[in-house]
Structure 1
């Protein structure tokens, strides 16, 4: 026997074994994201109906945030930030129409592939990612599956295309063909095919976004007579400003019976949230049965919220209210330390990418602006001051458009006449200009590029109706928030591209900006 060949073969085999061991000990990652699900419609935040029983229990057994925020209340900007860890001013994706303009150095999928992850998207995309970027790709949208193959998928697509605005009756799409059900079916099938490398799967529901359709038993479960009424109405619109009033005018033009239909729309929205909760349960419980729960990081969130009848409005569009900007966020599974209550930290959808970098023990790429939540999620030390505030952005720039500008809803493309609910709430009027929001403690400040401000004490005024901006009594709170907002704006100036020679770029490994005594 050739000893050298034997020795070399043994070392090679051992090396391969160690390599495979290193791959399989990295956690699997399951990101479960809904489209347009507001944060407060859940039992863990006190909502009186049984709307999210499974995710509530999962949150209480793991970790969750009640001060998690989107970067911008629009799908493409928010989802692009999730995959890049960068805010819209840095990604250049400030509207749903600017995805091709994205700017970054390295994204989440790049990092995962560097770490030998198998990757898959099942559900809605609405990012810069393409099918070639993932190992598996099955895309759905608000109009059904992008490439329907079965008779049921084609029928569902026809239904969704016809009902894209709103659908008030019990849905014609049965539970087994509803998109959350089909998406979980496909996700489970793909997960079961993964036998060696760690996996990442984005389970992305296009719901509860309009058309607000839902089937039985969820349709009756949240019938109008069973759900609580909104705390605000159209009478509050003068307190909210012109953009809200323009949006209301657009909605009324497109939905002439909106006031009467609103209770049913809200019930359908809530019913779909419960349907999604049941499908999340099916997904997570299945992975538990496979022995994968403790080997997998689960993240449950939404890209942004929905008015759901607040101020008499539906969908999204105008302003930076809590109903649009705050999102649900639950972390569960691998190394997540159980928390007695919601984490006391202001966090962002932009924090997900850097957190996952820490979880798989890789460095955070240059240009990422989010911060790693991994120390706080796993019970390690972290600087509390780093998470004492958060910023949200809005607007594509330029001057604000006003209702008396020489432009009609039809000319702009925001309204399709003779089609109920045929309107686009993300339009020139609601998205023009530039606004910023900062949250800190019980307080919230919104200010636009013209210096017009809003200041709210959310503990006393959760629906943001009593604007305290400019009142002498609250000048200290206002000034503190203005300083914090300016600090965030400076912090989020894009460092890319870095200096090409000589200069050394300094940053904390977790992307922390504020450190405390005894921490490095």
Structure 2
């Protein structure tokens, strides 16, 4: 039984960007972690958007259950979390890096600590010592690269490190620049990767001195766009050597209309916009091959730089004698398009590129080493599994599966399906996907169209079988299975009282 739990996450990382599985991306430290544990080839997010999935990672509930169903929503602080469960069991709990459980705008009904102006009230964060969703030690930031959302503990750290001019590296109105592209001139010693690694190790030292077990989430921001990273990482990969994914002619002919519209220069997605909020992915995805190659090169550089600082955390564990007593999991919150199917970034396009995630688990003497498994995993399972690994009962509100037996090799698989949700508008962008070991079916609320892919015969998802006459019996069977799965994920929050 591991004494400590360390969760390391990236943000918006394509599943196929680990050197250990043959990717051209150099990730020596994650490869080393994989050699000491297991790579899970079929891991999925519960929602391909930051806030919903991150909330699921700590609550063990699906977005449709915990309520933080899209960006701009807030996770209710009253929902039991994995951090609180560990704290109640005597663990030190820490979150360092990106949280994103709350929106950038605060209201009287839904006050947000991650909103302006609190976000950039550095004195507030200097004095902040409250629990945050069960984490009793937090050091937070909110910006990706040079975004204006910089602030919180990260900005304080930069100032304490002597970077008094940190605003020179961020865009207006917080900073002084008009936006940078590809090369970020911030000195590496002040980059948030450095901050996360340094502060993660400091947290471990504090607990080691008191001999207290810990549950720590080291939450990195990259390789989420904007595509921006310091040298030498920005030039680490030559765009001329990049194999740029491209659309296959005609592949969207049988897909729902929003797929094909992404290949237009000026598509009109007005009918999809119900609440006036921004909607991911519903725009033109046309990018020149030259620009895409450069973006991918920098995206790879962002991953390699992050890997370098993940290595510092992992090496620090070893140096402190904690490695053999710590369960380590690396994953991301959701995937990313960089040309696959003609798409960029993210949206309601539930291809494997977006909903499948890299996933490594390692625990000395517990998890088999150096192998791969196709056992289906969902990030909603993380809280239940972490608690099970530590011998702690999970709250009844958590609906994720206990994957510990599949991690240790006691059983081949725990799940026979995963469910992915995506509700980015009240009704017009309300999507759910059901994935089995072979098939994937996607249903749209109040729509006759959908997607059905045979991942065994069509792993690149080029042939949508939804309207195929020969596959109607299969579609009907999968929809029935999907309905049963939806019913099965309802929480058993309260026990039945006999005789009542």
Tell me the TM-score normalised to structure 1 length. 0.78
Counterpart check, 1:185 vs 2:194: no
Q: Which sits farther off after the overlay, 458-467 or 162-171?
A: 162-171
Match of residue 439, structure 2, among 436, 443, 451 = 443
Q: What are the residue-to-residue correspondences of 1:425-444 with 2, within 5 Å? A: 432=429, 434-444=430-440
Cα 1:396–1:211, aligned 2, differ >3 Å: closer, same or farther? Answer: closer
Which SS does the other structure have where 1:387 is aligned?
coil
Which SS does the other structure have where 1:208 is aligned?
coil
8 Å contact from structure 2 (residues 183, 230) kept in 1:
yes
RMSD after superposition: 2.9
Higher helix share: 1
Match of residue 310, structure 1, among 340, 343, 355 = 340
Cα 1:64–1:252, aligned 2, differ >3 Å: closer, same or farther? Answer: closer
- Structure 1 stretches lacking a partner, 5+ long: 1-24, 401-431, 505-520
Query: What is aligned with 1:60?
Result: 35
Query: What is aligned with 2:455?
Result: 458
Task: Say how many residue pairs are matched.
Answer: 443
Cα 1:102–1:461, aligned 2, differ >3 Å: closer, same or farther? Answer: farther
Counterpart check, 1:159 vs 2:169: yes
Counterpart check, 1:80 vs 2:55: yes
Match of residue 90, structure 2, among 109, 116, 131 = 116
Which SS does the other structure have where 1:33 is aligned?
strand
8 Å contact from structure 1 (residues 52, 273) kept in 2:
yes
Q: What are the residue-to-residue correspondences of 1:96-175 with 2, within 5 Å? A: 96-101=71-76, 104=79, 106-127=80-101, 132-133=130-131, 134-142=135-143, 143=147, 144-147=150-153, 148-149=155-156, 150-151=158-159, 155-162=165-172, 167-175=180-188
Cα 1:127–1:356, aligned 2, differ >3 Å: closer, same or farther? Answer: same
Q: What are the residue-to-residue correspondences of 1:198-237 with 2, within 5 Å? A: 198-232=213-247, 236=251
Counterpart check, 1:93 vs 2:106: no
Distance in 1, matches of 2:75 and 2:241, equals: 44
Cα 1:138–1:340, aligned 2, differ >3 Å: closer, same or farther? Answer: closer
Q: Which sits farther off after the overlay, 347-356 or 134-143?
A: 134-143
Q: Which sits farther off after the overlay, 446-455 or 257-266?
A: 257-266
Distance in 1, matches of 2:59 and 2:395, equals: 9
Distance in 2, matches of 1:503 and 1:69, equals: 41
Match of residue 485, structure 1, among 478, 482, 488 = 482
Structure 1: 4+ residue segments shifted above 6 A: 163-166, 250-257
Cα 1:399–1:211, aligned 2, differ >3 Å: closer, same or farther? Answer: same
Tell me the TM-score normalised to structure 2 length. 0.81
Distance in 2, matches of 1:236 and 1:153, equals: 50
Structure 1 position 145, deviation (Å): 4.4
Distance in 1, matches of 2:498 and 2:415, equals: 32
8 Å contact from structure 2 (residues 2, 363) kept in 1:
no
Query: What is aligned with 1:280?
Result: 310
Structure 1 position 357, deviation (Å): 1.1
Q: Which sits farther off after the overlay, 202-211 or 152-161?
A: 152-161
Structure 1 position 127, deviation (Å): 1.7
